[in-house]
């Protein structure tokens, strides 16, 4: 039997023989990195994913790992019996399941809302039954188009509940509300992370996010598209930092009645990001400007004081370093594109 290197300090203070993590959305961008990190520390992982927006290659890389199991499942539907049967062994439930980029989550807004609300509730009930700890990946979108900078967790946000982003933003706010109600009632130990922009390998090239868009356009020699005048700011966190933050939050012995921002507070304009991408790739393609999407936030920057204080966590990977690794990964991905298309044709 495998040596137990990561005893689980569960709510009952016992050491579990093997920590079993349910990771909903585990085939997605951040989810796939989290699954790998959990496997690397010796845990077992049961990954649930619809594969609706996840890249199949993320999953293929994980399926080769020991202690990994995948079940194709939509969390807005009741959990399958094989998951419920495992409840006595489940120690951690992670909810990373929801398309996160506007073109993806706006494709079926009803499903986006139900994934966030009903899906989160199914996983909270699983955590309650299993006496497992639950972590929700919420989002900086709960702050909407913020009027204060940087955003701390007690800022209540400036979100339109009537616009086209509401299915995601309000879905996540409702999911948070549910999680904290479980916590207040003592039904489950919960952790809520508000994730700010994250980038790195395993992003979906067609995700419509500014980092992946610009890198892929530059690598393909396409026009570089910038929404608005590019003066809006973002703060980009490298994915390994984000996963370390999520794991620190899940394992922290805190009361869990407050959300915790996770992100990189280094703020830059989209134009500055563009400059980095041009420098890294050497592209000479022209830059074209497109209209800003409805309700697009002007500025976004996390105040991570709470994460620093509670988790002793802060991002370590500098933007230049992270972008270089991301460009290298995308270059490899795009290089395999025509071959894959040829093989399929």
Answer for which of 37, 61, 86, 164 binds a second copy (CB under 8 A) is 164
Is 329 a binder of a second copy (CB under 8 A)? no
- Of positions 25, 31, 144, 201, contacts a second copy by CB under 8 A: 144
Select 135 or 319, whichever has its Cβ closest to a second copy: 135
Report the alpha-carbon angle 54-168-200, nearest 5: 40
The Cα 116–Cα 229 span in angstroms is: 32
User: Binding of a second copy at residue 79 (CB under 8 A)?
Assistant: no
The distance of closest approach from Cβ of residue 121 to a second copy in the complex, given in angstroms and rounded to an integer, is 7
Query: Which of 171, 263, 302, 315 lies at the binding interface for a second copy (CB under 8 A)?
Result: 171
Choose which of 113, 136, 211, 246 interacts with a second copy (CB under 8 A): 113
Tokens of 153: 């967790």
- One symbol per residue from 244 to 273: x for binding a second copy (CB under 8 A), - otherwise; what is it? -------------xxx--------------
- 112: cis peptide before it, omega within 30°? no
Selected range binding a second copy among 9-17, 66-74, 160-168, 220-228, rule: CB under 8 A? 160-168
Closest by CA position to 150, among listed 160, 159, 140: 140
Residues 90-109 that bind a second copy (CB under 8 A): 109
Spatial contact of 247 and 185, defined as CB atoms under 8 Å apart? no
Does the bond joining 165 to the residue before it have cis omega, within 30 degrees of 0? Answer: no
From residue 198 to residue 227, the character string flagging contacts with a second copy as x (rule: CB under 8 A) and all else as - is ------------------------------
Question: Is residue 73 classed as helix, strand or coil in its secondary structure?
Answer: coil
Beta strands (DSSP E) in 11-63 are 20-24, 44-49
Q: Does 110 bind a second copy (CB under 8 A)?
A: yes
Q: 């009930």: which residue's tokens?
A: 125
302 binds a second copy (CB under 8 A): no
Q: Which is nearer to a second copy, 7 or 163 (CB)?
A: 163
Q: How far is the CB of 323 from a second copy (least distance, A)?
A: 33
Residues whose CB falls within 8 Å of the CB of residue 255, separated by 6 or more in sequence, listed in order = none
Sign of the Cα torsion 204, 205, 210, 215 reads positive
Q: Which is nearer to a second copy, 55 or 122 (CB)?
A: 122
Q: In the annotation, is 199 catalytic?
A: no
CA–CA dist 90, 326 (Å, integer): 33
- Given the complex with a second copy, which of 185 and 339 has the nearer CB atom? 185
DSSP character at residue 207: S
Quick one: tokens of 11? 């709510």
Q: Which stretch binds a second copy (CB under 8 A): 59-67, 115-123, 210-218, 220-228?
A: 115-123
CA distances from 174 to 101, 117, 181, 326 (A): 18, 6, 11, 33
- What minimum distance in Å lies between the beta carbon of 166 and a second copy? 4
161 binds a second copy (CB under 8 A): yes
Q: What secondary structure letter does DSSP report for 117?
A: I
Indicate the residue among 164 and 205 with the shorter CB distance to a second copy: 164
CA-nearest of 76, 68, 69 to 95 is 76
d(CA 306, CA 327): 31
What is the closest distance, in whole angstroms, from the C-beta atom of residue 219 to a second copy in the complex? 35
Residues noted as catalytic: 168
Q: Which residues bind a second copy (CB under 8 A)?
A: 109-110, 113-114, 117-118, 121, 142, 144, 156-164, 166-167, 170-171, 173-174, 176-178, 180-182, 184-185, 192, 257-259
């Amino acid at each position: 039997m495998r040596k137990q290197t990561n005893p689980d300090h569960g709510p009952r203070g016992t050491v579990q023989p093997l920590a079993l993590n349910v990771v909903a959305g585990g085939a997605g961008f951040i989810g796939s990195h989290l699954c790998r990190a959990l496997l690397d520390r010796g845990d077992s992982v049961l990954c649930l994913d619809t594969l609706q927006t996840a890249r199949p290659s993320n999953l293929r890389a994980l399926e080769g790992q020991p202690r990994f199991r995948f079940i194709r499942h939509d969390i807005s539907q009741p959990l399958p019996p094989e998951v419920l049967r495992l409840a006595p062994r489940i120690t951690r439930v992670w909810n990373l399941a929801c398309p996160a980029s506007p073109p993806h989550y706006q494709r079926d807004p009803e499903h986006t809302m139900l994934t966030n609300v009903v899906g989160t509730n199914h996983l909270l009930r699983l955590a309650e039954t299993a006496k497992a700890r639950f972590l929700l990946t919420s989002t900086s979108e709960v702050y909407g188009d913020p009027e204060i900078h940087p955003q701390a967790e007690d800022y209540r946000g400036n979100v339109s509940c009537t616009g086209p982003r509401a299915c995601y933003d309000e879905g996540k706010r409702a999911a948070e509300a549910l999680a904290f109600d479980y916590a207040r009632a003592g039904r489950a130990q919960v952790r809520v992370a508000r994730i700010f922009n994250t980038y790195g390998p395993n992003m979906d090239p067609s995700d419509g996010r500014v980092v992946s868009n610009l890198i892929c356009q530059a690598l393909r020699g396409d026009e570089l598209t910038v929404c608005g005048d590019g003066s809006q700011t973002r703060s980009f966190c490298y994915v390994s930092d984000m996963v370390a933050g999520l794991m620190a939050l899940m394992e922290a012995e805190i009361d869990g009645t407050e959300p915790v921002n996770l992100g990189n507070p280094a703020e830059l304009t989209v134009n500055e990001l563009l400059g980095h991408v041009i420098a890294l790739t050497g592209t000479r393609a022209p830059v074209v400007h497109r209209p800003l999407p409805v309700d697009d936030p002007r500025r976004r920057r996390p105040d991570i004081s709470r994460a620093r204080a509670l988790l002793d966590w802060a991002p370590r990977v500098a933007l230049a370093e992270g972008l270089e690794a991301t460009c290298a990964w995308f270059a490899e991905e795009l290089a395999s594109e025509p071959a894959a298309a040829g093989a399929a044709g």
